[in-house]
């Protein structure tokens, strides 16, 4: 079979980047033809090489920065550009917030066919580095080498502990420093890497599913509790014991030290046994007066400090009273429902992951919250007439769905029961705008506030308040 010839496109010269587009790329127009430019910043003038061309648009990358935008800054991480995270480091934070607000507004204009009334200023992060409470690193025997490393002709260690490279999942970039989580994560990770290298532990191969060392997961809380979980691919107990002893001895501040032996082909741990080697089998986070148990498998907002500020917005928008029955849909571990429980008569939470419901129920007991109950199953399956009759018609509904947005059946049920207010928390303004449009005949958008949970990325949370029309 004849190999398809790779297209070679000309370099575009002196291209002015005018705006930010989807996935945080710069947008330029050349004779009504749209070009999306990776790492481009509005105000840049660049020479750009087209790497993919379609009928109506092209994807390109910068080959030369002719005139930098005044919105541009120098990235602070040496891994920027190769690592797939923190893709907006080249944009000043104040302008990141401007662009994120624009993304929300444009999603509602383009998809929701509406102009948002009185959109409130985006709530930025007070801490723009070391803000995450969870990171997962991968061991691999296929270290990603930069072009400079390859061209040097030098010999490099092929074992890496770091992040998958964007667009090349099989390869892992060796991470020496990361600005996403507490600085001590770098110290622990680098120490573990040196230990397994010196003791000749094998690193995992994704293609052949061989090698011992697989994943390393860190979780932290604002209460200074630490969880470290090491994932191995085989029950080589002598080596497991040696490494866990090393971690325990050198980092005594770790609250919960665990390991998992995952022999299956994918990295998910939700169906795996977690063995607690030292300390507790969980850590505790606290937002205001509410405490949350976090286990190795728990879902929790990955920016704790900003999560509290997000939940405060939910509380303000909801304007709950002691007479209100509140449904918390897609409730996860009940973090929002428990946070607002003291403001209302009762909270009814629904989440499809049974382990999350177990955590939510535990957290209710931990906080002696007696007016919150949580139920396992999908919202579209559970929200039936019998369920609503049993738990009461909701006065207010809080929804925090995954990126895909609300299931159409859920929208139809909410339109039928007609709560007086719906507080819609979304991590994807595009699907949120689509869903809000389905409510538009019966509900009015009263308030909207974007929230930045992830600085130096193009991801954005948005909170919408819908009120029932008279």
Question: pLDDT tens across 208-239, in order?
Answer: 999 999 999 999 999 999 999 999 999 999 99
Tell if the pTM clears 0.85, that is, is over it: yes
The pLDDT of 357-369, averaged and rounded, is 95
Confidence of residue 32 (pLDDT cuts 50, 70, 90): confident
Active site annotation includes 86: no
CA 40 to chain centroid, in Å, comes to 23
For the chain, the average pLDDT equals 94
Query: What is the model's pLDDT at position 81?
Result: 85
Judged by DSSP in three states, 466 sits in strand
Both 318 and 415 in one domain: the answer is yes
Percent of the chain residues past pLDDT 90, beyond the cut: 85
The pLDDT of 375-380, averaged and rounded, is 96
CATH of the domain at 194: 2.40.50.1070
The answer as to whether 317 is a domain residue is yes
Both 368 and 451 in one domain: the answer is yes
Please tell me which residue in 178, 379, 427, 448 is annotated as part of the active site: 427
**What does the CA dihedral 27, 29, 35, 40 come to, rounded to 10 degrees?**
-30
CATH of the domain at 35: 2.40.50.140
Query: What is the model's pLDDT at position 3?
Result: 56
Both 142 and 116 in one domain: the answer is no
Among 41, 52, 44, 47, residue whose Cα is nearest residue 6: 52
**Cβ atoms of residues 211 and 139 within 8 Å:** yes
Percent of the chain residues past pLDDT 70, beyond the cut: 99
Query: What is the model's pLDDT at position 84?
Result: 80
Is 67's pLDDT higher than 70? yes
Query: What is the model's pLDDT at position 4?
Result: 59
Residue 28 tokens read as: 């330029």
User: Model confidence over 298-340: pLDDT tens digits?
Assistant: 889 999 999 999 999 999 999 999 999 999 999 999 999 999 9
Is 2's pLDDT higher than 70? no
Is 402's pLDDT higher than 80? yes
Surface-to-core class of residue 248, CB atoms within 10 Å of its CB (0-12 exposed, 13-18 middle, 19+ buried): middle
Both 337 and 431 in one domain: the answer is yes
CA angle 115, 116, 117 (to 5 degrees): 115
**Cβ atoms of residues 275 and 256 within 8 Å:** no
Q: Which of 287, 316, 332 lies at the terminal end of a domain, its last residue?
A: 287
Domain residues for the domain of 202 are 134-287
Confidence of residue 23 (pLDDT cuts 50, 70, 90): confident
Both 340 and 438 in one domain: the answer is yes
Query: What is the model's pLDDT at position 132?
Result: 98
User: Model confidence over 144-192: pLDDT tens digits?
Assistant: 987 777 777 777 789 999 998 877 777 899 999 999 999 999 999 999 9
The pLDDT of 416-427, averaged and rounded, is 97
Query: What is the model's pLDDT at position 83?
Result: 87
Query: What is the model's pLDDT at position 165?
Result: 86
CA 145 vs CA 161, 168, 197, 200, 213: distances in Å: 13, 12, 18, 21, 20
Query: Where in 175-282 does DSSP place strands (E)?
Result: 213-220, 226-232, 256-261, 275-279
Out of 131-140, 143-152, 263-272, least confident range:
143-152
Domain count, the chain: 3
Matching residue, tokens 């003791």: 199
Query: What is the model's pLDDT at position 360?
Result: 95
The answer as to whether 121 is a domain residue is yes
The pLDDT of 399-414, averaged and rounded, is 96
């Amino acid at each position: 079979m004849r190999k398809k010839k790779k297209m070679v496109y000309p370099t575009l010269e002196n291209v002015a980047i005018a705006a930010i587009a989807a996935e945080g790329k710069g947008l330029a127009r050349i004779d009504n033809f749209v070009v999306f430019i990776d790492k481009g910043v509005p105000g840049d003038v660049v020479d750009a090489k087209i790497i993919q061309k379609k009928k109506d648009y092209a994807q390109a990358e910068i080959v030369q920065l002719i005139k930098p935008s005044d919105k541009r800054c120098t990235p602070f991480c040496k891994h920027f550009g190769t690592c797939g995270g923190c893709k907006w480091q080249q944009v000043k934070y104040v302008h990141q917030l401007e662009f994120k607000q624009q993304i929300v507004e444009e999603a509602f204009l383009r998809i929701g066919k509406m102009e948002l009334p009185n959109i409130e200023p985006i709530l930025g992060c007070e801490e723009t580095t070391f803000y995450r409470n969870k990171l997962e690193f991968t061991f691999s025997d296929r270290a990603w080498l930069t072009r400079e490393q390859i061209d040097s002709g030098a010999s490099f260690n092929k074992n890496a502990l770091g992040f998958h490279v964007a667009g090349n999942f099989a390869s892992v970039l060796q991470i020496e420093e990361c600005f996403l989580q507490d600085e001590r994560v770098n110290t622990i990770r680098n120490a573990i890497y040196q230990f397994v290298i010196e003791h000749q532990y094998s690193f995992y191969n994704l293609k052949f599913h061989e090698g011992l060392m697989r994943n390393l997961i860190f979780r932290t809380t604002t209460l200074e509790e630490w969880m470290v979980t090491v994932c191995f691919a085989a029950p080589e107990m002598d080596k497991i014991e040696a490494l866990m002893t090393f971690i325990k001895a050198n980092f005594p501040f770790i609250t919960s030290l665990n390991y998992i032996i995952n022999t299956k082909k994918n990295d998910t741990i939700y169906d795996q046994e977690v063995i607690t080697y030292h300390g507790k089998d969980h850590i505790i986070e606290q937002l205001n007066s509410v405490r949350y148990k976090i286990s190795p498998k728990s879902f929790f907002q990955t920016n704790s400090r900003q999560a509290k500020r997000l939940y405060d917005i939910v509380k303000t928008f909801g304007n709950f009273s002691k007479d209100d029955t509140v449904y918390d849909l897609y409730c996860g571990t009940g973090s929002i429902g428990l946070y607002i429980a003291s403001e209302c008569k009762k909270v009814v939470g629904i989440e499809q992951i049974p382990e999350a419901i177990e955590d939510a129920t535990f957290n209710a007991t931990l906080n002696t919250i007696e007016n919150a109950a949580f139920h396992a199953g999908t919202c579209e399956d559970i929200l039936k007439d019998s369920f609503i009759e049993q738990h009461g018609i909701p006065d207010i509904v809080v929804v925090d769905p995954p990126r895909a947005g609300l299931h159409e059946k859920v929208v139809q049920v909410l339109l039928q029961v007609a709560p007086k207010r719906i507080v819609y928390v979304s991590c994807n303004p595009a699907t949120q705008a689509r869903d809000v449009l389905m409510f538009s005949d019966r509900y009015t958008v009263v308030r909207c506030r974007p929230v930045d949970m992830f600085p130096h990325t193009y991801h954005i949370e948005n909170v919408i308040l819908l009120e029932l029309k008279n």
